[in-house]
Structure 1
Amino acid sequence: MSRLSGKNILITGASGGFGKELTKQLLKKGANLVLTDMKAPETKPEFYLENSKPVPGKILGSFAADLSSESGCEKAYKAAIKIQPKIDILVNNAGLAFGGRLLDVPMDKWKLILDVNLYAPIYLSRLFLPAMLERKYGQIVNLSSCAGITAPGELVYYSVSKFGIRALGEALDSGYRHQGIYTTNVYPFFANTNILHSQQFGTDKPKVVPPLIVDSPQMVVRAIVRGIEKKKMHVFPGFTAKLLRFLTRLSPGFLRGMERLGQKFS
């Protein structure tokens, strides 16, 4: 039996590529799910599963939420605990991206990235953490990125948000693990989700990620679920994510050199 069986899990961004796959795999693990996105996600388990074979998990409910403001996060918190007052695991999965260098991305766009990718997880963690501390058990899962390990010039604001999420998770783990609250940070590489097709600014020729280096959501989420079960602090899904981590630790200047070389031939 999975350690996640019977656990009440809130997933933000549940209608996206990772969100749907998280829902599917966590249902199979026997978890009880609360789902949210900009539009209320589907609550029928068969929507997420390839077949009608029964699974041990349940979808307790779903609701629409705009996490781009503090008030929106507070509304999401109230909606979630109305469905299930005891949330064991918060999965901060909601996120977005816009491509472009520092001066390319319009102000409203880069502020939106920080509001959704960074501030929303901070607000939600602050809201759900007190009850977890009272129960002396809980887990917060943050979707960072390889862009939270090394910062490409064309993903500046996305990287800022993901470096921030990385810091948030490490600080939460340092501050609360001894009180029974575990934190798991996840650092995917490019994956086949809608975020791969985000709007790009400052270029007439949008960059396309080669399919050969794009990971599948299924593989990434399997690694996430294993990381949650094992209460791991850091999860690097797939070969490329692990390689980037190794290279940044071994020689931080190596990736910068490769990036400059690529710019010469682009």
Structure 2
Amino acid sequence: MTQLDKAVVLITGATGGFGQELTRQLLEAGSRLILTDLDEAVVRERVAVIQRQVLTGDILACLGIDLSTREGCENLYHQVKALNIPIDILINNAGIALFGRMDEIPNERWERLMQINLLTPMRLSALFATDMIARQQGHIVNISSLAGWWVLPGLTPYSASKFGLRGFSEGFFHEVKDYNVKVTAVYPFFSRTPILQCERFGSLGKSSQDFLKHVATDPAKVMRATIQGIIHNKLHVFPDATAKKAHLLKRYFPQIVNWINDAFVRRLKGGQGK
């Protein structure tokens, strides 16, 4: 089992919906956190609110770094190394989404998405795993998505990044397990986080997506289940009921999934201009 009390945990994307819940719940568990996102001031502001409510755990550092480039990832690694505090758990939580038909999304936008959602976790995992392997101890957590198993139309680049993150997690799990380094991949359904208000493009982007707000999950519950998966060293974690059912549907009844996707496209086209 992975112990959380006194564990040093690095969380990327700390100001997002999942990042805030991870911060809160890991502080409650007594963890010592290093938090990073684009704007250090925003990280400090939001964690200050949490610390007024949660008196356990500790914040070791708040760092403002753009992780969309290789240089940004290396910068984070070196800043963390300068703290001279070994990382017990790395949580690759930072991610963005775009909605629209693939050919109608500007190339630079979906390429940046692939950098943040896939290459950044790979880069950070490779950097920090070297130290974990040397210590014969560590845990890497990648927040993927149900979209890493089931592609909804309009989310093609996002799903490609999450499919890639699933494959990376599975492969890396087998490469590092003999060194007592654990890997966990998490596949939540749509949750009530700011990512639901992602930028939208083209013909599909004109439609209404308000229905997602009615089916979206509670991020607090999703992260609570995620943390249990981390504690129990699970490779694959489906942290909500919808994700669990949809994953099984995709595996065993793929034709039903195709029918649902077709119905989803019809709904999108029917909702344009509303």
**1:83: Cα distance to partner?**
2.7
Q: What is the aligned partner in structure 1 of residue 122 from structure 2?
A: 122
Which shifted more, 60-69 or 208-217? 208-217
Q: Provide, for residues 11-46 of structure 1, a one-character-per-residue CA deviation record: whole Å limited to 9, x for no partner.
A: 000011110110000001111100000011117855
SS in 1 for 2:199: coil
Unaligned runs of 5+ in 2: none
2:16–2:194 Cα contact (<8 Å) kept: yes
Q: Give percent identity, aligned residues only.
A: 37
Distance 1:195 1:84, change over 3 A: farther
Q: As a proportion of its length, which structure holds more helix? A: 2
Q: Take 1:213 and 1:31, find their aligned partners in 2: how far apart are those partners? A: 32
Question: What TM-score comes out, normalization by structure 1 length?
Answer: 0.94
Q: What is the aligned partner in structure 2 of residue 229 from structure 1?
A: 231
Q: Take 2:61 and 2:45, find their aligned partners in 1: how far apart are those partners? A: 6
Which shifted more, 8-17 or 100-109? 100-109
Q: What is the aligned partner in structure 2 of residue 76 from structure 1?
A: 76
**RMSD over equivalenced CA pairs, Å:** 1.6
Residues 57-96 of structure 1 correspond to what in structure 2 (within 5 A)? 57-96=57-96
**Structure 1 stretches of 4+ moved >6 Å:** none
2:153–2:265 Cα contact (<8 Å) kept: no
SS in 2 for 1:126: helix
SS in 2 for 1:42: helix
Q: Provide, for residues 123-153 of structure 1, a one-character-per-residue CA deviation record: whole Å limited to 9, x for no partner.
A: 1011101110001111100010010001112
Find out whether 1:54 has 2:37 as its counterpart: no
Residues 32-47 of structure 1 correspond to what in structure 2 (within 5 A)? 32-40=32-40, 41-42=43-44, 46-47=48-49
Question: What TM-score comes out, normalization by structure 2 length?
Answer: 0.92
1:43–1:62 Cα contact (<8 Å) kept: no
SS in 1 for 2:44: coil
1:150–1:248 Cα contact (<8 Å) kept: yes
**1:231: Cα distance to partner?**
0.8
Find out whether 1:213 has 2:248 as its counterpart: no
1:43–1:61 Cα contact (<8 Å) kept: no
Residues 5-16 of structure 1 correspond to what in structure 2 (within 5 A)? 5-16=5-16
Distance 1:37 1:44, change over 3 A: closer
Q: Take 1:155 and 1:223, find their aligned partners in 2: how far apart are those partners? A: 25
Q: Take 1:157 and 1:189, find their aligned partners in 2: how far apart are those partners? A: 17
Q: What is the aligned partner in structure 1 of residue 21 from structure 2?
A: 21
Q: What is the aligned partner in structure 2 of residue 257 from structure 1?
A: 259
2:188–2:239 Cα contact (<8 Å) kept: yes
Residues 89-238 of structure 1 correspond to what in structure 2 (within 5 A)? 89-203=89-203, 204-238=206-240
Q: Take 1:245 and 1:231, find their aligned partners in 2: how far apart are those partners? A: 20
Unaligned runs of 5+ in 1: none
